[in-house]
């Protein structure tokens, strides 16, 4: 089933068009599923020692992704609507960067 925000157990997944992959947060964030809002902001960085240079920093507010100015992808500083995507119902997808997620209080 296609959704903008998938929830399985304590993991919440959304598709990030900037990184062209799924990002996940856990229930340490404040998440309003019906309103499609997550706070505080979400910072995704590559695992240490990785060749990947991902830096993605965003707010999810009312179904939109607000990318902040410190992202290093094409949507830096831009707000775009969340995208519906398909995910297996058993939630077996784990973002490879998941362990590197950070909550940012700003
Ligand atoms: Zn991203």
- Specify whether the CB–CB gap between 4 and 82 falls below 8 A: yes
Across residues 45-53, what is the average pLDDT?
Answer: 81
**pLDDT, tens only, 50-103:** 787 889 999 999 999 999 999 999 999 999 999 999 887 776 766 666 655 666
- Identify which of 44, 40, 37, 45 has the alpha carbon closest to the alpha carbon of residue 5: 37
**46 vs 65 pLDDT, higher one:** 65
Confidence of residue 9 (pLDDT cuts 50, 70, 90): confident
Confidence of residue 29 (pLDDT cuts 50, 70, 90): very high
Task: Give residue 48 CA to ligand 1 midpoint distance, Å.
Answer: 17
36/84 Cα distance (integer angstroms): 12
Task: Give residue 56 CA to ligand 1 midpoint distance, Å.
Answer: 5
Residues whose CB is under 5 A from ligand 1 (ion)? 16, 18-19, 56
* pLDDT value at residue 106: 46
Task: Give residue 82 CA to ligand 1 midpoint distance, Å.
Answer: 12
**pLDDT, tens only, 11-22:** 899 999 999 989
Please give the model's pTM, rounded to 2 decimal places: 0.85
């Amino acid at each position: 089933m296609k959704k903008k925000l998938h929830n399985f157990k304590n993991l919440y997944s959304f598709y990030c068009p900037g990184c062209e992959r799924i990002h996940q947060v856990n229930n340490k964030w404040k998440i309003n599923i019906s309103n499609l809002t997550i706070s505080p902001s979400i910072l995704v960085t590559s695992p240490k020692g990785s060749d990947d240079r991902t830096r993605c920093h965003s707010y999810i507010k009312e179904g939109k992704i607000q990318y902040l100015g410190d992202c290093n992808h094409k949507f830096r500083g831009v707000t775009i609507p969340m995208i519906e995507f398909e995910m297996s119902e058993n939630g077996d997808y784990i973002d490879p960067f998941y362990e590197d997620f950070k909550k940012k209080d700003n």
